[in-house]
Amino acid sequence: MPIPGKSAAPSGPVAAPLGTRPASSPVTVLGGLPEVARGAEYPPLVETPIFAYFADATSVTFVDGEALYLPIKVGFEAGIQGVRDGSMLAASIEYEQRTNRRMMIPLDVKVMAFGVEHGGYVQRIELAPDRRGKPRHHHADVWTRYDVVGAEAIATFDAEGFIAFRRSLVDLLGPVHPGVIQATRSKTLQLAEAHRRIGHASPGMARIADSIEAQLAPRT
């Protein structure tokens, strides 16, 4: 696993919708992609810690009737889980693997997002330094793209790209266990039924129940 900040080949620029402009601050993919955009302006985003995705053999949801692993996002902040510095991940990785029996998805795994291959799944966006001049960053997955509209940053999510990433996790964990599939299906049906039972008091709950149950049906 490379140290965050190491470089690889950059992706190409992506055109922003009319009336918007892409976040123009330097962006780095921790796997690690060098800057893909640069400019004088900092995007209006909040500071967020470095994170990694972990694969858990029991973390599964249905997408169009297909049981897929759902990666678990774990943030690494100084002072938490023995981490003295936000960039020192070893202690937290060991904790997740030993205590929670999860497997870290390598930061440098190649993924597709918005039709472009990236050398990692975590992007680091440079923000304005704090009052003391300390660097600040926003970390997000590469399936999230930001466009600046006025004074706001509007996020667009590549759902299909993320689903493809989830499918690829069988290479890491193997096929989903039949018992996990059955248990997840039962929990999904129970959740849908729970919403449906209170649907008479809130029509919105009935619609939510339908959408939950629809996860079990193959796409037509």
pLDDT tens readout for residues 53-66: 999 999 999 999 99
Give the number of other Cβ atoms within 10 Å of residue 7's Cβ.
Answer: 14
Contact 112, 159 (CB under 8 A): no
pLDDT of residue 30: 66
pLDDT of residue 46: 92
pLDDT of residue 172: 92
- As a whole number of angstroms, the distance between CA 188 and CA 198 comes to 16
Token code pair at residue 195: 């919403």
Per-residue pLDDT of the chain (220 residues; tens, 9 = 90+): 443 433 333 333 333 333 344 555 566 666 554 444 444 478 889 999 889 999 999 999 999 999 999 999 988 875 444 444 444 567 778 888 888 889 999 989 999 999 999 999 999 998 988 888 888 899 999 999 998 888 888 999 999 999 999 999 999 999 999 999 999 999 999 998 888 887 666 778 888 888 988 898 888 7
Which amino acid is located at 69 in the chain?
Y
- As a whole number of angstroms, the distance between CA 201 and CA 199 comes to 5
- As a whole number of angstroms, the distance between CA 60 and CA 177 comes to 10
Angstrom CA distances, 2 to 87, 88, 133, stand at: 12, 12, 27
pLDDT of residue 5: 39
Contact 165, 154 (CB under 8 A): no
* pLDDT digits 0-9 by tens, 113-141: 999 999 999 999 989 888 888 888 999 99
Contact 145, 136 (CB under 8 A): no
Residues paired with residue 153 on neighbouring β-strands, in sequence order? 148
pLDDT of residue 8: 39
Closest to 87 in 3D by CA, of 124, 50, 121: 50
Q: Rounded to two decimals, what is the model's pTM?
A: 0.74
